Amino acid sequence: MRNRRLTTADTAAAPRALPPRYLTPVDVAELLGVPVETVYQWRRKRTGPRGFRVGRHLRYDPVDVRAWVDSLMEEAAA
């Protein structure tokens, strides 16, 4: 079997399962395929998924990340 890149249709048909724990900014960046600095910029601009602090550590609820991605997909479809 040949290696192939996933297309948008492949990822839409089979959404990736989210980890059963809160996500770090690195986790969110890897999940979405963007640089970590982009995740921090979204936070500063208040345009990305909702995050929260645990002491000095930034965390994201996987459900909130999924809801944010879903809202972007709905906006793109409109």
Domains of the chain by residue range: 19-77
3 has a pLDDT exceeding 70: no
What residues contact residue 57 under an 8 Å CB cut-off, 6+ apart? 24
Measure Cα distances from 35 to 7, 39, 41, 48, 54 in Å.
Answer: 20, 7, 10, 13, 22
pLDDT band at 17 (very low <50, low <70, confident <90, very high): confident
pTM of the model: 0.73
Whether residue 69 contacts residue 34, with contact meaning beta carbons closer than 8 Å, is answered with no
The domain made up of 19-77 has a fold known as Arc Repressor Mutant, subunit A (1.10.10)
pLDDT, tens digit, 9 for 90 and up, residues 52-74: 999 999 999 999 999 999 999 99
pLDDT, tens digit, 9 for 90 and up, residues 23-53: 999 999 999 999 999 999 999 999 999 999 9
